[in-house]
Structure 1
Amino acid sequence: MSDAFTLGLFYTIIRPEEKWILEAAQARGIPVERLHDESVTFPLVRNGFKADLVLNRSVSHTRSLYALRFFEHYGVPTVNPYDVVSLCGDKVLASLRLQEAGIPTPRTVVALTPEAAMKALDEVGYPAVLKPPIGSWGRLLAKVDDREEAEQIIEHKTALGSPMHSVFYVQEYVAKPERDIRAFVVGDELVAAMYRTSSDWRTNAHLGGETQSLEPDAALTELTLRAAEAVGGGVLAVDLMESGDGLLVHEVNPTPEFKALAGATGVNIAARIVDYAAGVAAR
């Protein structure tokens, strides 16, 4: 591959995923410019960085958004683009986009005050799930079993005083097997999928959920690719649940980890990401 293409890696720490990305780039003869999100600066006029395309691997949603907007301002393509990360990083906006695209999702009601949040929970019914509009890794989620518990949780969130806790994203609790599905999309292809199983209602692998490779059937593939396309496409992890009415998409992650998925499936996801990034840079 030509040395004319330099890949920028915008990152927070070098986790296994970033290590594999660096190895995949090296194997393809692609130079990598490391852009550490704690040290890089962004003048209004592009400074001396060399990257022709930037792959975002920052764990900070806020840093990602500002950085991606600057890269866009400089005329440098990114994976994923600012618009995709901005949309998927906000559960409210992502839910709206998925609903507009006809993607089946859990019933969701959004409230802007504590009083309206109690009303939203009554509308959805108990048990319900209360989520921050921005966040990942299963953090700050609460399964709410009754009105008394809801009042306590909402009072606590209000006392925190954070803007993140002033918008209440209320979702139905979906009765499902003790598992969910993570499907990983690169471009227009579902490259790997797995079950995440846990006795806890949250099945995130980093919270201890067990993983098992899954061979996607036509229905899973079709829904996953539709969901990815609805939010703008790119490198995305689509999380789905098996409900009594069929598959539901409950989240699309725009900067996904894939250590557990690669381990469960044996798929070289990092290589697929690097190849996709090179293709975007060549457009």
Structure 2
Amino acid sequence: MRPLAVLASRVRYEEKRIFAALERREVPYTHVDTRRFSVELGDTAGGGPFFAAALNREISHSRALYASLLLEARGVATVNRSDVIEMCGDKLRTSLALERAGVPSPRTAVALSPDEGADAAERLGFPVVIKPLAGSWGRLVAAAHDRDTAEALLEHRAALPSPVQHIVYLQEFVDKPGRDIRMIVAGDDVVGATYRYSDSWRTNAARGGRSKPCPLVPELVAAALAAARAVGGGVLGVDLVEGPDGPLVLEVNHAVEFQGFQAAHGDTVDVADAIVAYAISAAEQNDDHVPLREAQ
């Protein structure tokens, strides 16, 4: 079997688990540091390994997107694909995909300027959650319980240099039971689920959220799989909240971190092995491998 490429500029807990899973399965692999990676366009006959597939674990959204794009142009199967990374890296695009697929989500509004954002928030109804279009770990996410707070937050957003930060993405504040749910999907399978608890309304693990196992009840499994299919599939983290009428999908993440998730499940779930199994399946389905030169 041709080696798998594991793309990562930082080797964290998750990548170490993935390397160990590959070694247990005796799957040859190459760790590719994306900071030392380049491709010459038009050069399809260069030296270097024939990658059976590439497991994209790059933490930088831009490098992850363009690495998958370049590899796909050389006939290498990528996990995740560039179109999925692009979709999940933009909350508006994700929301539109969920809407098209009929996946239940919180009420959402988008304003194309901070000035319009406060009016849009008022129409949506306070409290609202103001989120950046791109980002993770709960950064630049804020709750506004009234118009004065929304205007103050949006005034700050208007002062940021990036025009993308001036696009205002708003969601209703769902009165959740002190927790939300993270589910990990690999292809057509749900690997597992955790409740995420926090003393704050933001439950991100990066902000100290605590994870406990969550039962895989049918309505959660159906919502997670529908959300994953809506954005193009692959290895994905689906964040949900328990609404009054059933689960609502908050976000779909293309770069799945799972240290807290794995700790919550212990030996009952092996996230890294499930990811590796999916990458092997992608490699086996990809018959047309073209050599790619790795920068030295």
1:233 corresponds in structure 2 to: 233
1:281 corresponds in structure 2 to: 283
Residue pair 2:210, 2:260 contacting (<8 A) in 1 also: no
Provide, for residues 241-261 of structure 1, a one-character-per-residue CA deviation record: whole Å limited to 9, x for no partner. Answer: 011122100001111101111
AA paired with 1:280?
A
The 1-side partners of 2:179 and 2:2 are apart by 41
The 1-side partners of 2:47 and 2:220 are apart by 44
1:19 corresponds in structure 2 to: 16
Provide, for residues 21-58 of structure 1, a one-character-per-residue CA deviation record: whole Å limited to 9, x for no partner. Answer: 00111111111111112221222135544222111111
TM-score, normalised with respect to structure 1: 0.96
1:145 corresponds in structure 2 to: 145
The 1-side partners of 2:251 and 2:47 are apart by 37
2:189 corresponds in structure 1 to: 189
Provide, for residues 35-89 of structure 1, a one-character-per-residue CA deviation record: whole Å limited to 9, x for no partner. Answer: 1122212221355442221111111111111111111111111001111111111
1:108 corresponds in structure 2 to: 108
AA paired with 1:181?
I
The 2-side partners of 1:163 and 1:275 are apart by 40
**What does residue range 138-177 of structure 1 map to in structure 2 within 5 Å?**
138-177=138-177
1:69 corresponds in structure 2 to: 69
Gaps of 5+ in 2: 286-296
1:176–1:280: structure 2 CA closer, same or farther, 3 Å change rule? same
Q: Aligned-pair distance for 1:105?
A: 0.3
2:271 corresponds in structure 1 to: 269
The 2-side partners of 1:42 and 1:155 are apart by 42
Provide, for residues 157-203 of structure 1, a one-character-per-residue CA deviation record: whole Å limited to 9, x for no partner. Answer: 11112133121101111111110001111111111110000120100
The 2-side partners of 1:52 and 1:7 are apart by 5
Give the ranges of 4+ consecutive aligned residues of structure 1 lying more than 2 Å apart after TM superposition. Answer: 45-49
AA paired with 1:166?
H
The 2-side partners of 1:240 and 1:215 are apart by 14
Task: Give the SS at the match of 1:195.
Answer: strand
2:29 corresponds in structure 1 to: 32
AA paired with 2:230?
A
Q: Aligned-pair distance for 1:5?
A: 2.4
Match of 1:6 among 3, 8, 12: 3
Q: Aligned-pair distance for 1:206?
A: 1.8
**What does residue range 181-260 of structure 1 map to in structure 2 within 5 Å?**
181-260=181-260
The percent identity for this pair of structures is 45
Provide, for residues 95-152 of structure 1, a one-character-per-residue CA deviation record: whole Å limited to 9, x for no partner. Answer: 0000111100000011111222122111111111110101111111011121111111
The 1-side partners of 2:111 and 2:70 are apart by 32
The 2-side partners of 1:101 and 1:262 are apart by 30
Task: Give the SS at the match of 1:130.
Answer: strand
TM-score, normalised with respect to structure 2: 0.92
Q: Which has the higher contact order (CA 8 A, sep 6+)?
A: 2
AA paired with 2:283?
A
2:291 corresponds in structure 1 to: none
AA paired with 1:111?
A
The 1-side partners of 2:157 and 2:15 are apart by 34
1:120 corresponds in structure 2 to: 120
